[in-house]
Amino acid sequence: MGTRVAEIGAAFGMDTIAWSQNLKPEDARAKGVAYVSRDELFSRSDVLSIHVVLSKRTRGLVGERELRSMKSTAILVNTSRGPVIDETALLRALNEKTIAGAALDVFDREPLPADHPLRSVHNAVVTPHIGYVSRDLYEVFYRDAVEDIAAWAAGSPLRLLT
């Protein structure tokens, strides 16, 4: 999945970087991605998208130290598994604006309880993990994406986040 996200980013002219405990620099280069250290991944990323399986090695992979090393303008995306990110540290980073925002569809506890603090932070987009698996959503998503790109190219962007 990370490879596909990197391909999409590259199609939009993004410089893509990657790190993984299992990734070899030559494999990253073969995919058109720059291999970086773990620390560099967090400090350089404007958008950091996580694509790992949950295991003993990945549980808590993103904690206080990693979040504090990110740019204040960075966005963290997690669509893999909730416990990969220390939820308490993420809430602190979002509330203190250590990072600009987060996009999440996985959580420590699913479904996300109605009174969960992630539902009330203003710089996080939270959706259910199964939100992408419907024909209707795909139709809306792709139609809106095309409209957004065309509007941006014409100098009149739609659906701006504030």
User: What residues are labeled active site?
Assistant: 81, 110, 129
Report the Cα 15 to chain-centroid distance in Å: 15
> Which residue carries 């479904």 as its tokens?
111
Cβ pair 103, 124 in contact under 8 A:
yes
SS3 string of 92-109?
Answer: HHHHCCCCCEEEECCCCC
Task: Find, among 119, 63, 116, 113, the residue nearest to 93 by Cα.
Answer: 63
Rounded Cα gap, residues 65 and 25, in angstroms: 24
| 128 cis-preceded (ω within 30 degrees of 0) | no
Rounded Cα gap, residues 85 and 64, in angstroms: 9
